[in-house]
A and B are shown apart, each in its own frame.
Chain A
Amino acid sequence: MTISAERPTDVVTTPPSINGAVRRGGWFSQHLGTALVAAIVGYLFGHWLGNHVAGNYPVVVNSGVNDVANFFGLLFGVIGWLLGIGALNYPLAKIAGRSGIEKTQDVEGFSKYFRYSTDHKTVGLQYVIGVCLFMFTGGLLAMAIRTELLNPTIHVFSPGTYIEIVSEHGTIMMMMATSIVLGPLGNYLVPLMIGSRRMAFPRIEAFSFWIFTAGYMVIFSALPYGGFPTGWTGYAPLQNQAGPGMISYLFGFAVIGLGMMTAGFNIAVTIVNYRAPGLTWSRVPMFVWSILATAALLTLATPVLFSAGLFGILDRVDQTAFYVAEHGGSSYLWENLFWFFGHPEVYIMALPAFGIVAEILPVFCRKPLFAQKVGAAGMIGVALLSFFVWQHHIFQSGINPDMRPLFMLTTELISIPTGFIFLVGMGTLYKAKIRYELPMLFSLALFFNFLIGGLTGVFLSDVPVNVTVHGGFFVLSHFHYTIMGGLLFAFMAGLYYWLPKMTGLMLNKKIGLWQFWLMFVFFNLTFFPMFIIGLLGQPRRVYTYAKNLQGLNDFSSISAFILGFSFLIFAWNLAYSWFIKPQKAPANPWDSLGLEWQTATPVPEHNFDRIPVIMTDPYHYSEPGAQALADLGGVGSSTGNPA
């Protein structure tokens, strides 16, 4: 069955999928406030239950730490949070036989952003605020780290507090980064880009956001518990020896892992099944390809992290010995399980960034995307190979030396599909008449930064270099260049590019230019010296260093403060452009051919009045006479080619 271009004209005003819709609203309905109250009640109940169950266990009496109570507190807190926001209403109602295709109609108005919404656009905007909150708190911790490193002898924090700050910063940022594109932009834009009126599983989509926020709070709960000293990697046996904050780390990872799995699951299923008629795989936009590859990685790699976290929790709560070598376990088991997830995670962060810039480049170059299919193949190649490289993280710690060349080879192999994607970008830029708008500037910055991050990555994959610089600032700088220099710059490009569509308001260009130049210049001034610091021997996660490195560290710290300031400028831009002096965005401010720009602004609840019929890919810029992208169904509504 296909939808033909010749369309019948009958039109109804009621969406067919809303059967027996229930409109929720008012102070006594479920919202953020009730979720907070239920989470607190759940936490208190769980803590009491844990003390009741395990308060007299010898291990608890002897150590004075009741991990059972801490874990139960967090577990019931999360359950309370989900109950309070309404995430469990439908799963509970299903037990009594409620229909699977009924849809709960969302509350209208601003308060919908504080509720369990099943509209992908609302969830996308909820994610924007959620990840920005994540990023802001992680960024504050980064400022604390750089403050401590201003002087090797005069200390702001104790060694223990410093490593707790480093650990919390790393964990927060890594968890935030896994969802920073897929959450806000993936959820909002994918249905619009594939011509769909909905997500495949809207309740699962909403669940993914609210469990993500629960995970954020669980990871932050480590601080009042005294933090955790392991860094974001949580290595055993330190994991088993750490204080009660370790429970927050392990459980937080499991909870956020659940959010990542569900988010990836829903988006992957949506892309496979809800593409509009005519949107063949060769016509699928690059951003959608990147999100599909990311979603596949999320759904398949994250369950391993979930299991690893579960085993860690059992070690602490039930006294099993998964990671305790003296009792038949192995600390290397954690390393293997963690990195089996952890390395695909790197590409979970990198691929959406490439997807964003691949979408933006043709628009501002006014050229077709160069070698689109090669780029898509590169994304699939990176996703597949990412499952076969994890052991390069443990070259120093437990891997059979004979295995090193194999994993060195697989790691170097992955630079080939990555290179495909890079060349797609370079080919598009070649001989282009570039419009230097903000999204384009951030995209160009990504190529500059990622080139440095990628090239140093090739060196790091070589065992001899890896042995020399492992555990130092060289590695730290490398992954900040790839993740922050790549992903975060792409995220900013995506926000400046798509927020006008998402909010109907333009962001201020002048303020944006200040942010861009400060961010780009001081990002490089912060992290490039760290390559030198690392080569000179400064290790990660240590609160002091050799006196002769103070000059470079101070330079890096001061640059980091200005880099942090650039994010405040972004926050100011949001406040200024949304509340102080809002400027209405044109329907298609960048003259993009993308399908997401062809529907009405603001986007109606049903996205498209009629399901569009796609006729070509969205990159035929400056091609006179090129076929229109899609038939949107109305008279003369085929989207033309603005050339």
Chain B
Amino acid sequence: MTDTYNKPGVMSNTPEEVEFELRAHIGSIWTGGRLFIGMYTFMIAALAFSYFYLRSSNNSMEWRPNHVTAPTAYGWAIYGCTAAMSLLAIFGQSRLRKGQVADWLVAGWTAVGIGLLALFLQLWEFVALPFYPGSSGYASTFIGFGVMNVITLFVTTYWLETSVARAHAMKREFGAGAVLAKTAEARSWRANVASMTYFQGFAVLVATMLLLMFYVL
């Protein structure tokens, strides 16, 4: 048995260690972004499973009486906003990679505005539905989809807004070139933007699938 206490020393901070930790941090943002997509996929898969399970069961012939459908105008408008937000985020990031920070900021703020509009439309759609929540299997799953879409839009818009706001804060704190610098702060931020954009791209794929399920089929 070792019977001596180790004495804690001071933390070293060699350039190698700093670089190692920064790479681990950036790798975490990359891995976290992909794992988040995995979590989101399983959450949405539960909704999709419910939709097809109830649709194929058609219990009491109440899956979708009279083929009632949620307002398609709202559906397409919300989808359009979601797609526009994602495309703007992707466009912004491609411009950022070319060093066009102003383009990224304009695209980012525009996408945030569109995201908020989509959020508002999704909430407003709830008071414009032509059916009661429990009137059919379709109606129930639609409400579930609506709530999940509110959560999705909130998360994507929040992630986008915090990225854009941080870019402004960095410019304010460190100067105009801060966003594209090789500092730890800037590299971390760019990794975050990349993960956010990747998720936005995935979210629009999911939105397309859900649009087809709830408004087109």
Q: Shortest distance in angstroms between B173's beta carbon and chain A's nearest beta carbon? A: 9
Residue ranges of B at the interface with A (Cβ–Cβ < 8 Å): 1-21, 23-25, 27-28, 31-32, 35-36, 38-40, 42-43, 45-47, 49-50, 53-54, 57-60, 62-64, 132-141, 143-144, 147-148, 158, 161-162, 165-170, 172, 184-185, 188-189, 192
Contact residues of A between 281 and 331, Cβ < 8 Å to B = 299-301, 303-304, 306-308, 310-311, 314-315, 318-322, 324-330
Q: Tell whether A469 is near chain B: CB-to-CB under 8 Å.
A: no
Q: Tell whether A146 is near chain B: CB-to-CB under 8 Å.
A: no
A584 and B166 alpha carbons, distance in the complex (Å): 47
A-B contact pairs, 14 of them (CB 8 A): A3-B16, A95-B165, A100-B166, A100-B188, A265-B39, A272-B27, A304-B45, A307-B46, A314-B133, A314-B147, A321-B136, A322-B140, A328-B140, A584-B5
Q: Shortest distance in angstroms between B135's beta carbon and chain A's nearest beta carbon? A: 7
Q: A95-B158, A587-B5, A588-B2 are in contact. List 12 more A-B contacts (CB 8 A).
A: A1-B23, A12-B12, A95-B165, A200-B31, A273-B27, A307-B148, A308-B46, A320-B133, A325-B60, A336-B53, A601-B5, A633-B12
Asked whether A587 and B31 contact (CB < 8 A) given A98-B169, A314-B133, A329-B54, the answer is no
Contacts of B38 in A (CB 8 A): 299-300
Q: Tell whether A528 is near chain B: CB-to-CB under 8 Å.
A: no
Contacts of B166 in A (CB 8 A): 94, 97-100
Contacts of A304 in B (CB 8 A): 42-43, 45-46
Which of A168-176, A349-357, A602-610 sits within the interface?
A602-610
Whether A327 lies near B169 (C-beta < 8 A) is: no
Whether A321 lies near B5 (C-beta < 8 A) is: no
Q: Tell whether A423 is near chain B: CB-to-CB under 8 Å.
A: no
Chain A, residues 80-116, CB within 8 Å of chain B (1/0): the string is 0000000000000011111111000000000000000
Partner of A261, one of B39, B54, B63: B39
Q: Tell whether A433 is near chain B: CB-to-CB under 8 Å.
A: no
Whether B8 lies near A604 (C-beta < 8 A) is: yes
Q: Tell whether A545 is near chain B: CB-to-CB under 8 Å.
A: no
Contacts of A441 in B (CB 8 A): none
Which of A13-21, A66-74, A213-221, A399-407 sits within the interface?
A13-21
Whether A100 lies near B192 (C-beta < 8 A) is: yes
Whether A327 lies near B28 (C-beta < 8 A) is: no
Residue of A nearest to B53 (CB): A333
Most A CB contacts (10 A, CB to CB) among B8, B49, B144, B165 go to: B8
Contacts of B172 in A (CB 8 A): 97
Asked whether A609 and B16 contact (CB < 8 A) given A100-B189, A307-B43, A319-B132, the answer is no
Q: Shortest distance in angstroms between A180's beta carbon and chain B's nearest beta carbon? A: 22
Q: Tell whether A277 is near chain B: CB-to-CB under 8 Å.
A: yes
Contacts of B25 in A (CB 8 A): 101, 200, 273
Whether B13 lies near A268 (C-beta < 8 A) is: no
A303 and B36 alpha carbons, distance in the complex (Å): 11
Q: Is the interface of A mostly helix, strand, loop or mixed?
A: loop
Q: Shortest distance in angstroms between A236's beta carbon and chain B's nearest beta carbon? A: 12
A98 and B167 alpha carbons, distance in the complex (Å): 10
Contacts of B21 in A (CB 8 A): 16-17, 197, 611
Whether A7 lies near B4 (C-beta < 8 A) is: no
Partner of B39, one of A303, A315, A333: A303
Whether B11 lies near A15 (C-beta < 8 A) is: yes
Residue of B nearest to A11 (CB): B12
Q: Shortest distance in angstroms between B145's beta carbon and chain A's nearest beta carbon? A: 11
Whether B17 lies near A3 (C-beta < 8 A) is: yes
Residue of B nearest to A4 (CB): B16
Asked whether A336 and B49 contact (CB < 8 A) given A273-B24, A320-B139, A327-B60, the answer is yes
A564 and B184 alpha carbons, distance in the complex (Å): 53
Whether A587 lies near B6 (C-beta < 8 A) is: yes
Residue of B nearest to A262 (CB): B39
The 7 closest A-B pairs by CB, nearest first: A328-B137, A97-B169, A328-B62, A307-B46, A604-B8, A97-B165, A600-B6
Residue of A nearest to B189 (CB): A100
Contact residues of A between 425 and 465, Cβ < 8 Å to B = none
A320 and B147 alpha carbons, distance in the complex (Å): 12
Q: Shortest distance in angstroms between A206's beta carbon and chain B's nearest beta carbon? A: 16
A575 and B105 alpha carbons, distance in the complex (Å): 57
Residue of A nearest to B141 (CB): A322
Contacts of B57 in A (CB 8 A): 330, 332
Whether B135 lies near A327 (C-beta < 8 A) is: yes
Whether A611 lies near B32 (C-beta < 8 A) is: no
A601 and B139 alpha carbons, distance in the complex (Å): 59
Most A CB contacts (10 A, CB to CB) among B21, B170, B192 go to: B21
